[in-house]
């Protein structure tokens, strides 16, 4: 089943805009390899004996051989590594050469390519030993200039150890922004530190010397080292701080991390430096279709905005006369409200955005209450009211519910423990971009059991579980990488293995098609039970808007 699906995907090779470098103009070889564009600007064209010819983005090598050039194996389809280092050597040399790690698609052969025979196989689909390539691989009638650029690019793709990787150690960073919630931050760091300590113990228990074991069965024996990069001051200064951290502590990848209102400087830093940034605890990620390195659990509040839009505007039910949205002017609700407003306008529904001034943490609930009361004034039962508010604001809501169509964000409002006043509970719908508590209970035995064994108190369950899951995913991905510590390959392996995982904590399933950067794509809309602690009342099935 799986390989049939892969086969179809490869056959169509839908150009997913994998990793287009937005700002820097790509040199000729990279442009051809990744985007299917020839140096002249014309489109790359590939032909196959059985038809199904491909052009442009769909013909690009990246679709099959991947951005790293290290290929892929799935079921009985083998896509070989095509970086020059592999092609220009015989298998015999490979066994002895420890700088050439094993990758799954590598097939032994007794001969080596040259510039001429490589050009020939790309043009004719026949290997120098007379063996024709699998029909899936298109033939490319490239002119000499394009061929030279392409082969030059294959020679530049590398498996050289990258910064942050030594013979004994893999270095990782985690990033903490100054506005992160202190309890959640502490909880996240504790999980990371314990997980890394556990990984070190496993490695220490392994007695075989690394080099010898690698010749026998290629395995990851390096210990992991965590660096905590705590940012300070204004977001405009973070980029600089991150560059400084990286210069003094080179890392292979960034794992987990935590932010609150602002994450985009971190995202840009990772993309700019080609560093994988894996699964941070943030509820407003950056959505940038062509970026390759930052990977998130979900689109966070933007996903919640889509869940609300689907219910309010796409259903056959009576549509609201007007959409009124309330949010703090300095919080992530601003972006969510903007996204939802765009959907409302497309559905010809009037929108009113009501920003409540930022509240310094010191101001009490009573002044919050007054500000919110003003923000909600005039809303009537024909309106839909959406509150992009945190727990303290929800707790400060007063008076009667003005309409039966009230929505709150589960991510901002505290999910099932959202502190809504009793009168509001029954009338309010909440977006819930996780699996329902009773459906995830069995899966949660894994993280919760680990916390227990490690004597880690549960102080911020969602953050702790997602951080633990990020560590487990990293560990499994590294296991699939064998010894090829290439950053692009890390992300490709993660794309490969993620959808096969079954135990994903809060998430019913995760998956990343090549180029996708949000692993969970849906959620529920629920009603809070009359009594806190009772079951959430799901309004319909899991939906992926
Ligand atoms: C639709 C998927 C697809 C695309 C696109 C594709 N390839 Fe391939 N390629 C394959 C497959 C599958 C094989 C393995 C064929 C076999 O083993 O018989 C292969 C094999 C090769 C080989 C032979 C490697 C060896 O070990 O002998 C080279 C070289 C190669 N491809 C280069 C390229 C280049 C360069 C591009 C882009 C211009 C490209 N491929 C685009 C699927 C693809």
Q: Which of 38, 64, 84 to mutate to test the pocket of ligand 1 (most atoms within 8 A of CB)?
A: 64
Which residue's C-alpha comes closest to atom 2 of ligand 1?
64
How close is the Cα of 160 to the center of ligand 1, in Å?
Answer: 22
Name residue, tokens 């490239």.
142
Q: Work out which ligand 1 atom sits closest to the CA atom of 77.
A: 12
Which residue's C-alpha comes closest to atom 25 of ligand 1?
80
Q: Which of 35, 49, 82 to mutate to test the pocket of ligand 1 (most atoms within 8 A of CB)?
A: 82
What separation in angstroms does the CA of 373 have from each of 354, 390, 415?
A: 11, 15, 23
Nearest Cα to Cα of residue 353 among 388, 382, 380, 306: 388
pLDDT tens digits, one per residue of 19-68: 333 344 458 999 999 999 999 999 999 999 888 899 999 999 999 999 98
What separation in angstroms does the CA of 323 have from each of 7, 234, 352, 525?
A: 45, 33, 6, 18
Which residue's C-alpha comes closest to atom 5 of ligand 1?
61
How close is the Cα of 397 to the center of ligand 1, in Å?
Answer: 61
How close is the Cα of 61 to the center of ligand 1, in Å?
Answer: 7
How close is the Cα of 491 to the center of ligand 1, in Å?
Answer: 20
Contact indicator for 191, 456 with CB cutoff of 8 Å = yes
How close is the Cα of 69 to the center of ligand 1, in Å?
Answer: 10
Contact indicator for 93, 110 with CB cutoff of 8 Å = no
Q: Work out which ligand 1 atom sits closest to the CA atom of 44.
A: 38
Cβ-proximal residues to 478 (8 Å cutoff; 6+ apart), any chain: 170, 220, 490
pLDDT in tens, the chain (545 residues): 344 445 554 554 433 333 333 344 458 999 999 999 999 999 999 999 888 899 999 999 999 999 989 888 877 788 999 998 888 887 554 454 555 666 777 776 778 899 999 999 999 999 998 999 988 999 999 999 999 999 999 998 876 768 898 888 899 999 999 999 999 999 999 999 999 999 888 776 664 444 444 443 444 578 899 999 999 999 999 999 999 999 999 999 999 999 999 999 999 999 999 999 999 999 999 999 889 999 999 999 999 999 999 999 887 677 899 999 999 999 999 999 999 999 999 999 999 999 999 876 545 556 788 899 999 999 999 999 999 999 999 999 988 899 989 999 999 999 999 999 989 998 899 999 999 999 999 999 999 999 999 999 999 999 999 999 999 999 999 887 766 788 998 999 899 889 888 889 999 999 998 889 999 999 999 999 988 889 999 999 999 99
pLDDT tens digits, one per residue of 207-256: 444 444 444 344 457 889 999 999 999 999 999 999 999 999 999 999 99
How close is the Cα of 293 to the center of ligand 1, in Å?
Answer: 25
Which residue's C-alpha comes closest to atom 6 of ligand 1?
61
How close is the Cα of 319 to the center of ligand 1, in Å?
Answer: 52
Q: Work out which ligand 1 atom sits closest to the CA atom of 106.
A: 26
How close is the Cα of 134 to the center of ligand 1, in Å?
Answer: 8
Contact indicator for 170, 252 with CB cutoff of 8 Å = yes
Q: Which of 31, 38, 63, 80 to mutate to test the pocket of ligand 1 (most atoms within 8 A of CB)?
A: 80
Q: Which of 3, 10, 42, 65 to mutate to test the pocket of ligand 1 (most atoms within 8 A of CB)?
A: 65
Cα 67 to Cα 514: distance, rounded to the nearest angstrom: 10
Cα 409 to Cα 178: distance, rounded to the nearest angstrom: 23
Ligand 1 site residues (CB inside 6 A) read 10, 13, 61, 63-65, 78-80, 82, 118, 121-122, 127, 133-134, 136-138, 140, 150
Nearest Cα to Cα of residue 10 among 62, 56, 49, 82: 62
How close is the Cα of 79 to the center of ligand 1, in Å?
Answer: 7
How close is the Cα of 403 to the center of ligand 1, in Å?
Answer: 60
317-344 residues labelled b (16+ CB within 10 A) or e (exposed): eebbebbbbbbbeebbbbbbbebbbebb
Which residue's C-alpha comes closest to atom 26 of ligand 1?
80
How close is the Cα of 252 to the center of ligand 1, in Å?
Answer: 28
Name residue, tokens 């096969």.
500
Cα 265 to Cα 240: distance, rounded to the nearest angstrom: 10
How close is the Cα of 163 to the center of ligand 1, in Å?
Answer: 29
Which residue's C-alpha comes closest to atom 8 of ligand 1?
137
How close is the Cα of 71 to the center of ligand 1, in Å?
Answer: 9
Cα 342 to Cα 355: distance, rounded to the nearest angstrom: 16
162-199 residues labelled b (16+ CB within 10 A) or e (exposed): bebbeeeebbbbbbbbeebbeebbebbbbbbebbbebb
């Amino acid at each position: 089943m799986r390989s049939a699906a892969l086969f179809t995907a490869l056959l169509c090779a839908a150009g997913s805009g994998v990793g287009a470098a937005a700002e820097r103009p790509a040199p000729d070889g990279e442009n051809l390899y990744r985007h299917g564009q020839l140096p002249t600007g014309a489109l790359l064209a590939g032909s196959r004996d059985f038809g199904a010819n491909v052009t442009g983005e769909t013909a690009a090598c990246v679709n099959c051989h991947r951005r790293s050039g290290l290929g892929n194996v799935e079921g009985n389809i083998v896509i070989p590594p095509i970086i020059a280092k592999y092609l220009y050597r015989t298998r015999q040399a490979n066994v002895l050469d420890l700088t050439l790690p094993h990758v799954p698609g590598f097939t032994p052969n007794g001969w080596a390519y040259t510039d001429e025979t490589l050009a020939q196989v790309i043009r004719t689909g026949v290997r120098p030993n007379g063996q024709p390539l699998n029909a899936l691989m298109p033939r490319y009638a490239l002119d000499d200039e394009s061929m030279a650029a392409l082969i030059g690019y294959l020679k530049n793709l590398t498996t050289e150890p990258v910064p942050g990787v030594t013979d004994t150690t893999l270095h990782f960073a985690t990033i903490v922004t100054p506005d992160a919630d202190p309890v959640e931050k502490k909880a996240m760091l504790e999980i990371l530190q314990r997980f890394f300590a556990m990984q070190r113990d496993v490695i220490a228990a392994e007695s075989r010397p690394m080099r010898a074991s690698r010749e026998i069965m290629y395995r990851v024996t390096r210990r992991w080292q965590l660096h905590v990069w705590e940012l300070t001051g204004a977001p405009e200064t973070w980029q600089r701080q991150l560059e400084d951290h990286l210069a003094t502590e080179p890392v292979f990848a960034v794992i987990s991390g935590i932010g609150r209102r602002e994450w985009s400087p971190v995202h840009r830093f990772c993309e700019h430096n080609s560093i994988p940034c894996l699964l941070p605890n943030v509820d407003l990620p950056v959505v940038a279709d062509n970026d390759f390195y930052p990977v998130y659990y979900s689109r966070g509040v933007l996903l919640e905005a889509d869940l609300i839009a689907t219910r309010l505007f796409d259903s056959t039910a009576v549509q609201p006369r007007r959409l009124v949205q309330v949010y703090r002017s300095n919080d992530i609700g601003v972006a969510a409200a903007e996204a939802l407003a765009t959907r409302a306008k497309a559905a010809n529904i009037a929108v009113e955005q009501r920003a409540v001034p930022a509240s310094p943490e010191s101001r009490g609930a009573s002044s919050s209450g007054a500000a919110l009361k003003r923000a909600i004034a005039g809303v009537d039962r024909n309106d839909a009211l959406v509150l992009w508010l945190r727990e303290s604001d929800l707790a400060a809501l007063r008076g009667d519910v003005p309409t039966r169509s009230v929505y709150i964000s589960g991510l901002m409002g505290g999910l099932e423990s959202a502190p809504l006043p009793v009168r509001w509970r029954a009338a309010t719908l909440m977006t819930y971009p996780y699996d329902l508590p009773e459906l995830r209970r069995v899966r949660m035995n894994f993280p919760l059991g680990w916390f227990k064994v490690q004597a880690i108190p549960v102080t911020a369950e969602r953050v702790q579980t997602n951080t633990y899951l990020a560590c487990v995913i990293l560990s499994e991905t590294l296991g699939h990488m064998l010894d090829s510590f290439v950053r692009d390959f890390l992300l490709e392996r993660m794309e490969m293995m993620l959808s096969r995982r079954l135990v994903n904590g809060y998430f019913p399933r995760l998956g990343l098609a090549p180029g996708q950067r949000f692993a969970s794509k849906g959620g529920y809309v629920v009603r809070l039970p009359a009594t806190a602690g009772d079951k959430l009342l799901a309004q319909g099935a899991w939906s992926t808007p």
